[in-house]
Amino acid sequence: MIVGQSGRGEMPVVEVVTGTSFALLVALARASREPRDGLEAELARALDELGDPVGETWLNLLGIPLDAGPPHTVDRLLGVLEAIDPVELRRHLLGRYAWSWCTLVGIDDIEAAASGDSAASRRLLAHPRYYGTHARDSLTVLVALEPEETRRRIRRAVDAGARTLIEEGAAEALEIAEARAAAALTGASPLEAIERVALGYRYIPEPEAERVLLIPHLEPGLSLVLAQHRAARLMAFRAKPAPGSEQQLVALGRALADPKRIEILGLLARGVQRASDLVDETGLSRSTVHYHLSQLREAGLITLEGNARAYRYATWPAAAESLASLLADVIGFTDSRTNTPREGKEGQ
């Protein structure tokens, strides 16, 4: 579904791409970050075999169903993983088709490591910024394997995840999200469309990106996942029902229930914009800061702006007015349709 393109050629084409294969890969990324004792035993064992506690590996595999083409179903993904050349799978895994990683560590080392070169693998693992700073955590086990063994373990985890992570009705929920995204994109400029669909993400176009692909997923706690594949910027956004006032206020209460999130909001209000600076100011780990930021974004309190070159967070100026209106609607202080006071028993 093509949404639009700027006349200056600076804004990529924006499309919506939907399928349970993408939803499963994002679900596996989330499951990798969860305590394994809460997972089905076969899936927990399969994830343990991969050795990635962060889940970055799965996000680098989003390009596999894209390359395979529709239908983007779990069954088709399993078939592709059964047939794919194992070295090609490792190219995807190591970021051969992500321009940021190629620029950062070099195509030659990625290609060599994909083929099993141990010296190239050591150089990749030692790079402090490669793989979102998680190279050692995410890849130490996988790069030491033979390519065929890498494929076997990846497919086994995907097969186990397909049986336990994708619930009945997932395809229908994703189709509803696709329709809602299409409605939100109608008549909007490409950047406005992205901000509407991607939960307040203000994208700055990148010269490498010819397309932006908006991909709905179903995982709570992952409001937005950003990845790259060839000449496409991938934005996997969480599909969710349009909430009522009560649900939105519950999300707000959850977001504000942690003192550290209150501290982060105050830092953002004072102009601290980068996640690395928030790590320094709060003393929290990078992953914990990103978790708190995702909760604040989920509640509509902050925005994310930028691209792979730099991301900045900020408080959302319209949040206070919007949330005050929600609260007034819930407690019966105003009529949300007319913004006038509702009559109570005293006025009847």
pLDDT by residue (tens digit) across 20-65?
A: 999 999 999 999 988 898 899 999 999 999 999 999 999 999 999 9
Decide if pLDDT at 245 tops 70: no
Q: Tell me if 119 sits within 8 A of 108, measured CB to CB.
A: no
C-alpha distances in Å from residue 156, one per residue of 42, 57, 102, 163, 321? 9, 14, 28, 11, 49
Which residues are 202's β-sheet partners? 305
Q: Provide the whole-model pTM.
A: 0.85
Quote the pLDDT of residue 242: 55
Give the phi and the psi of residue 203 in degrees, each rounded to 5: -80, 135
User: Which pLDDT score is estimated for 333?
Assistant: 56
Average pLDDT value for residue range 1-30: 78
Q: Which residue has the higher pLDDT, 291 or 141?
A: 141
pLDDT of 7 > 50? The answer is no
Kindly indicate the confidence band of residue 255, based on its pLDDT and cuts at 50, 70 and 90. confident
Treating both helix axes as pointing N-terminal to C-terminal, what angle do 41-50 and 147-164 enclose, rounded to 10 degrees?
150
Measured CA to CA in angstroms, residue 118 lies from 113, 114, 123 at distances of 7, 10, 9
Distance, in Å, from the CA atom of 19 to the CA atom of 270, rounded to the nearest integer, reads: 41
Mean pLDDT of the chain: 88
Does pLDDT of 79 surpass 70?
A: yes
The pLDDT value recorded for residue 246 is 66
- Give pLDDT tens digits for 198-240: 888 999 999 999 999 999 999 987 889 999 999 999 999 998 7
What is the tens place of the pLDDT at every residue in 86-130? 999 999 999 999 999 999 999 999 999 999 999 999 999 999 999
Q: What is the mean pLDDT of residues 328-340?
A: 57
CA distance 24 to 104: 28
Give all domains of the chain, ordered by start, each with its CATH number. Answer: 13-17+169-238 (no CATH), 29-164 (no CATH), 245-320 (1.10.10.10)
Q: What is the mean pLDDT of residues 232-250?
A: 77
Confidence at residue 4, expressed as pLDDT on a 0 to 100 scale: 44
Taken as a whole, the chain contains a residue count of 348
Question: Across the beta sheet with 310-315, what order do the strands follow?
Answer: 201-203, 302-307, 310-315
The token pair that represents 56 in the structure block = 């970055």
Q: What is the mean pLDDT of residues 73-79?
A: 97
CA 126/CA 115 separation, integer angstroms: 18
- What is the band of 286 on the pLDDT scale with cuts at 50, 70, 90? confident
What is the 3-class SS of the chain, one letter each residue? Answer: CECCCCCCCCCCEEEECCCHHHHHHHHHHHHHHCCHHHCCHHHHHHHHHHCCCCCHHHHCCCHHHHHHCCCCCHHHHHHHHHHCCHHHHHHHHHCCCCHHHHHHHCHHHHHHHHCCCHHHHHHHHHCCCHHHHCHHHHHHHHHCCCHHHHHHHHHHHHHHHHHHCCCCCHHHHHHHHHHHHHHHHCCCCHHHHHHHHCCCEEECCCCCCCEEEEEEECCCCCCEEEEEECCEEEEEEECCCCCCHHHHHHHHHHHCCCHHHHHHHHHHHCCCCCHHHHHHHHCCCHHHHHHHHHHHHHCCCEEEEEECCEEEEEECCCHHHHHHHHHHHHHCCEECCCCEECCCHHHC
pLDDT of 115-168, one tens digit each?
Answer: 999 999 999 999 999 998 899 999 999 999 999 999 999 999 999 999 999 999
**What pLDDT does 290 receive?**
85
* Three-point CA angle 166, 225, 94, nearest 5°: 90
Selected residue with higher pLDDT from 302 and 300: 302
What does the pLDDT read at residue 19?
A: 97
Q: What is the pLDDT of residue 234?
A: 98
